[in-house]
Copies of this chain bind each other. A is one copy, B any other.
Amino acid sequence: MILVLKPKTEEDKILELMKTLENENIRVERTKGVDYTILALIGDTRTVNEGSIESSGIVHRLIRVQEPYKQVNRLFHPDNSTVKVGDCEIGGKEFTMIAGPCSVESEEQLLAVAHEVKKSGAKFLRGGAFKPRTSPYSFQGLGSKGLELLKLAKKETGLYIVSELLSVDWLERFVEDVDIIQIGARNMQNFSLLKELGRTDKPVILKRGLSATMEEWLMSAEYIISEGNKNVILCERGIRTFENYTRNTFDVSAIPMVKHYSHLPVLADPSHATGLWWMVEPLAKAAVVAGADGLMIEVHPNPAMALSDGAQSLKPETYRNLMNEINILLDRTGKNAEELKQ
For residue A336, CB closer than 8 A to chain B, the reply is no
**For residue A134, which residue of chain B has the nearest CB?**
B219
Interface size class of A (residues with CB under 8 A): 35 or more
Interface residues of A (CB under 8 A from B): 2, 4, 7, 29, 31-36, 38, 40, 42-44, 46-47, 49-52, 54-57, 61, 63, 65-66, 68, 75, 130, 132-139, 166-169, 186-187, 189-193, 195, 210-211, 213-216, 219, 222-223, 226-227, 239-246, 249-257, 260-261, 273-274, 277-279, 281-283, 285-291, 303-315, 317-318, 321-322, 325, 328-329, 332-333, 337, 339-342
A167-B193 contact, Cβ under 8 Å, with A136-B226, A249-B253: yes
**For residue A341, which residue of chain B has the nearest CB?**
B318
Q: How many copies does the complex hold?
A: 4
Which of B51, B134, B186, B214 is A311 in contact with, Cβ under 8 Å? B51
Verify A310–B51 contact, CB threshold 8 A.
yes
**For residue A210, which residue of chain B has the nearest CB?**
B211
Main secondary structure of the interface of A (DSSP, over half): mixed
**For residue A165, which residue of chain B has the nearest CB?**
B192
| Chain B contacts for A189, CB-based, 8 A | 132, 134, 186
Residue among A134, A257, A287, A337 with max Cβ neighbours from chain B (10 Å): A134
| Chain B contacts for A313, CB-based, 8 A | 51, 55
**CB of A173, distance to nearest CB on chain B (Å):** 14
Can you pick out 24 interface pairs between chain A and chain B where the beta carbons lie within 8 Å of each other?
Answer: A2-B2, A4-B65, A34-B44, A49-B139, A49-B310, A51-B308, A51-B311, A68-B137, A136-B191, A168-B168, A214-B243, A240-B242, A243-B254, A250-B252, A252-B282, A253-B274, A253-B282, A257-B279, A278-B342, A285-B290, A286-B287, A314-B342, A315-B342, A329-B332
| Chain B contacts for A322, CB-based, 8 A | 340
